[in-house]
Amino acid sequence: MKVGDLVKWSQQWLNGCSNAKDPYQELKHYKDQIGIIIQTVEEPRNCLRVLWSDGEDDEVHYDYLEVIDESR
């Protein structure tokens, strides 16, 4: 994975996703998200900064991401 790749949350991450109030709605929100890797980070280790389609950006461990489309 590299800067510019389009990503989504991995099934492994989605399987652990839950919210006591409305787990279905939260899961749907994350399943619908698409992100772009905007930066590699040194800390935390093995993480990438992702800008998500909902406007949020976050540092995400690469095991929790799945590449949709690789940048050229």
Q: Which are the contacts of 61, defined by CB distance < 8 A and separation ≥ 6?
A: 44, 46, 47
pTM of the shown model:
0.85
What value does the mean pLDDT take over residues 16-28? 71
If DSSP codes are grouped into helix, strand and coil, which group holds residue 64? helix
pLDDT of 20 strictly over 60: no
- Domain segments of the chain as ranges: 6-69
Specify the 3-state DSSP secondary structure of 49: strand
- Which tens digit of pLDDT belongs to each residue from 34-61? 999 999 999 989 999 999 999 999 999 9
